[in-house]
Amino acid sequence: SMAHGKVTITVDEYSSNPTQAFTHYNINQSRFQPPHVHMVDPIPYDTPKPAGHTRFVCVSDTHSRTDGIQMPYGDVLLHMGDFTELGLPSEVKKFNDWLGGLPYEFKVVIAGNHELTFDKDFMAELVKQDYYRFPSVSKLKPEDFDNVQSLLTNCVYLQDSDVTIKGFRIYGTPWSPWFNGWGFNLPRGQSLLDKWNLIPEGIDILMTHGPPLGFRDWVPKELQRVGCVELLNTVQKRVRPKLHAFGHIHEGYGIMTDGYTTFINASTCTISYQPTNPPIVFDLPNPSSS
């Protein structure tokens, strides 16, 4: 139980079919129902920041289209991946330059499935095959992308790791359910759960690329839920962060709560890759230093 040590998450019986999982848990456990679960309106950019709070500015899925984005006031920028189209070093440099011009005290970034060069296993496989799928990536020489992470000089880059900023413990991880064989793709079930099991307890803010089941994970064109069931169970039953921020499902842009954790899908780009969804600001009370 919660009070007696670590909760162990196991693979859900509905893991492989999130749409069915949602229906099952909604009907049998009211798991996605009000009053606990509901939509949340974003706070206006000119809302005064309450005393003793930190203001987080959430963006995601900017896909090398940062030029027109109007950035609001805040303390800490969170970017939940897909900052490029292919992870080309030229794209990463451009993104890092954009970050460098932003006024936030701290900037935290994770990769998404489009940051192909950040996924070393993906690149190792790509050189063996698939030249015609991503020709511009296949053309790169290892020395062009080996240190691609080091191009991100203007932020903290998290990859299955955490950082403490202004007293907030922030964990970031790039993995998402397999879909068309992109970077940081893993099969649903134990493979992804192994990654979620790396998230320590005591995290205040969780950054993932993709959504958990049931929270801003609806893909209208396929009438499907695509959030990860094991990620939801990890968030709600074990880690319980105050904020879970993600992107990936562009159509899911928006905010929800389950009554404890706030879920923000901060996808800046729409389904047609127009960067028109505004950054989402969110205030959290500073953790007490006791």
Ligand X SMILES: Nc1nc2c(ncn2[C@@H]2O[C@H](COP(=O)(O)O)[C@@H](O)[C@H]2O)c(=O)[nH]1
**How many residues bind to ligand X according to rule CB under 6 A?**
15
* Dist. CA 192–CA 281, nearest whole Å: 29
CB of 31 to ligand X, least distance (A): 21
CB of 176 to Mn ion, least distance (A): 6
Choose the one of ligand X, Mn ion, none that binds residue 115, judging by a C-beta under 5 to 8 angstroms depending on kind.
none
Q: Under the criterion CB under 6 A, does residue 163 sit at the interface with ligand X?
A: no
Within residues 101-160, the interface with ligand X by CB under 6 A covers 113-114
C-alpha gyration radius of the chain: 18
CB of 274 to ligand X, least distance (A): 12
CB of 116 to Mn ion, least distance (A): 11
The full length of the chain comes to 290
Q: Which of these ranges, 3-11, 20-28, 69-77, 217-225, lies near ligand X under the rule CB under 6 A? A: 217-225
* Dist. CA 193–CA 58, nearest whole Å: 25
Among 147, 237, 271, 276, binds ligand X (CB under 6 A): 271
Q: Under the criterion CB under 6 A, does residue 222 sit at the interface with ligand X?
A: yes
Among 172, 177, 254, 279, binds ligand X (CB under 6 A): 177
Within residues 74-103, the interface with ligand X by CB under 6 A covers 82
* Alpha carbon separation from 201 to 8, 168, 192, 198, 269 (Å, rounded): 12, 13, 17, 9, 32
* Dist. CA 102–CA 10, nearest whole Å: 41
Nearest Cα to 111, choosing from 95, 124, 129, 127?
95
* Dist. CA 289–CA 93, nearest whole Å: 37
Q: Under the criterion CB under 6 A, does residue 219 sit at the interface with ligand X?
A: yes
Q: Among all chains, which residue has been given the structure tokens 């020489």?
A: 141
Instruction: Take residue 77 and report the two structure tokens written for it.
Output: 């920028």
Q: Among all chains, which residue has been given the structure tokens 């800046």?
A: 268
Please name the residue ranges forming H helices in 189-251: 190-196, 229-233
Q: In this complex, which beta carbon is closest to ligand X, that of residue 16 or of residue 224?
A: 224
Site residues (CB under 5 A) for Mn ion? 61, 82, 112-113, 248
Q: In this complex, which beta carbon is closest to ligand X, that of residue 79 or of residue 248?
A: 248
* Dist. CA 4–CA 195, nearest whole Å: 23
Give me the residues that bind ligand X (CB under 6 A), please.
61, 82, 113-114, 177, 179, 219, 222, 224, 226, 248-251, 271
